[in-house]
C-alpha cells in the first residue's frame, strides 16, 4: 500500500527536486550558466530525464533557456523581488480570507500550536535565522493549503515561495524581525479562529507589506545587496 514516499518514483522527478533545491539553496548561483553534461555528472543522471526536469524548471520561472545556447539560473533584481512581494500580498490575502472560511477548527488549533513552537524557537535560538525562516514558511504554507483553493495553493507553493526562499537563503537575514512577525502571525490566526475572513485578508496583506518594506529598507541602506 503505502511505500516510503521519499524516493521519487521517476528519475525526472528526482532531477527536478535536486535542481530545485540546488537553485533555492544557492548551490547554483543566479545568472550562472550551467551545462547539461555538467549537471548530469553532478547529479548522477542522464540527459533525458535532466532535460525533462529543465523544461519544468523553466516553465516555473526558475531557469531561463535560450535555444541552442544553454540554460542559466534566473537572476531576480531587487525591484523584481519587490514585485514578487506585491503578488504575494494579494494572493496570500485571498488565501487568508478563504482559509478563515474553510479551515477546520483542528487545523486552526494546530496552527496556534505551531506558533507556540515558533516562539520557543525564536527565544531559544536567537540568530538562528534559518529555522525562523522555515517557521515562517510553514505558517504561510498552512494557510495556503487551508484556503482549499487548489490552484491558489499550487501557485503559491509551487512558484512564488520557491523564488522567495531562494532569496531568503541568500540574504540569510530572512524576515529580520522575528518577534514582530510572530505577533502579526498570532493576530492573523486570531482572525482565522473568529472566522473573520475580511480581517484575516487585511492583516495578511499588511503583514506581507511590512515584510516587503523591511527588505526594501535594508536594500536601500546597502545592508542587503542583490
Partner DNA sequence: CTTTTTCATTTTGTTGACAATCGCGAGATG
Partner DNA sequence: CATCTCGCGATTGTCAACAAAATGAAAAAG
Binding site for its own copies (CB under 8 A): 9-10, 12-13, 48, 51-53, 55-56, 58-61, 67-68, 80, 83-84, 86-87, 89-91, 93-94, 98, 149-152, 154-155, 158-160, 163
150 binds, among DNA, its own copies, none (CB under 5 to 8 A by kind): its own copies
Instruction: Copy the grid coordinates of residue 56.
Output: 519544468
Place of cell 503578488: 87
Q: Does residue 31 bind DNA (CB under 7 A)?
A: no
| Smallest separation, CB 60 to its own copies (Å) | 6
Instruction: Copy the grid coordinates of residue 83.
Output: 514585485
Strands 63-66 and 70-73: antiparallel
* Nearest to DNA of 12, 96 (CB atom): 12
Q: Does residue 122 bind DNA (CB under 7 A)?
A: no
194 binds, among its own copies, DNA, none (CB under 5 to 8 A by kind): none
Q: Does residue 35 bind DNA (CB under 7 A)?
A: yes
| Smallest separation, CB 150 to DNA (Å) | 22
Instruction: Copy the grid coordinates of residue 195.
Output: 472566522
For residue 58, which of 27, 20, 88, 105 has the smallest C-alpha distance? 20
58 binds, among its own copies, DNA, none (CB under 5 to 8 A by kind): its own copies
Site for DNA in 54-113 (CB under 7 A): 65-71
Separation CA 47–CA 179 (nearest Å): 46
Task: Determine the interface stretch with DNA among 19-27, 28-36, 121-129, 193-201 (rule: CB under 7 A).
Answer: 28-36
Say which residues have a Cβ less than 8 Å from residue 180's Cβ, sequence separation at least 6. 210
Separation CA 94–CA 126 (nearest Å): 32
Separation CA 19–CA 68 (nearest Å): 20
Separation CA 142–CA 10 (nearest Å): 27
Q: Does residue 48 bind DNA (CB under 7 A)?
A: yes
* Nearest to DNA of 58, 119 (CB atom): 58
Separation CA 13–CA 192 (nearest Å): 35
Binding site for DNA (CB under 7 A): 10-12, 34-37, 45-49, 51, 65-71
Amino acid at each position: 500500500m503505502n511505500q516510503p514516499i521519499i524516493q521519487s518514483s521517476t528519475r525526472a522527478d528526482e532531477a527536478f527536486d535536486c535542481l530545485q533545491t540546488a537553485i533555492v539553496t544557492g548551490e547554483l548561483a543566479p545568472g550562472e550558466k550551467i551545462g547539461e553534461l555538467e549537471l548530469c555528472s553532478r547529479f548522477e543522471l542522464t540527459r533525458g530525464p535532466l532535460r525533462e526536469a529543465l523544461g519544468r524548471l523553466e516553465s516555473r520561472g526558475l531557469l531561463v533557456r535560450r535555444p541552442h545556447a544553454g540554460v542559466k539560473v534566473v537572476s531576480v533584481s531587487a525591484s523584481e523581488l519587490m514585485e514578487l512581494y506585491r503578488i504575494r500580498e494579494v494572493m496570500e490575502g485571498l488565501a487568508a480570507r478563504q482559509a478563515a472560511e474553510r479551515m477546520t477548527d483542528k487545523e486552526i488549533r494546530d496552527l496556534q500550536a505551531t506558533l507556540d513552537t515558533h516562539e520557543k524557537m525564536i527565544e531559544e535560538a536567537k540568530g538562528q535565522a534559518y529555522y525562523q525562516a522555515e517557521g515562517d514558511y510553514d505558517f504561510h504554507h498552512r494557510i495556503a493549503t487551508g484556503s482549499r483553493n487548489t490552484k491558489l495553493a499550487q501557485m503559491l507553493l509551487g512558484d512564488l515561495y520557491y523564488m522567495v526562499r531562494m532569496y531568503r537563503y541568500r540574504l540569510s537575514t530572512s524576515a529580520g524581525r522575528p518577534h514582530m512577525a510572530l505577533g502579526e502571525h498570532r493576530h492573523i490566526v486570531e482572525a482565522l479562529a473568529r472566522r473573520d475572513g475580511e480581517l484575516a485578508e487585511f492583516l495578511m496583506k499588511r503583514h506581507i507589506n511590512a515584510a516587503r518594506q523591511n527588505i526594501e529598507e535594508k536594500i536601500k541602506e546597502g545592508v542587503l545587496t542583490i
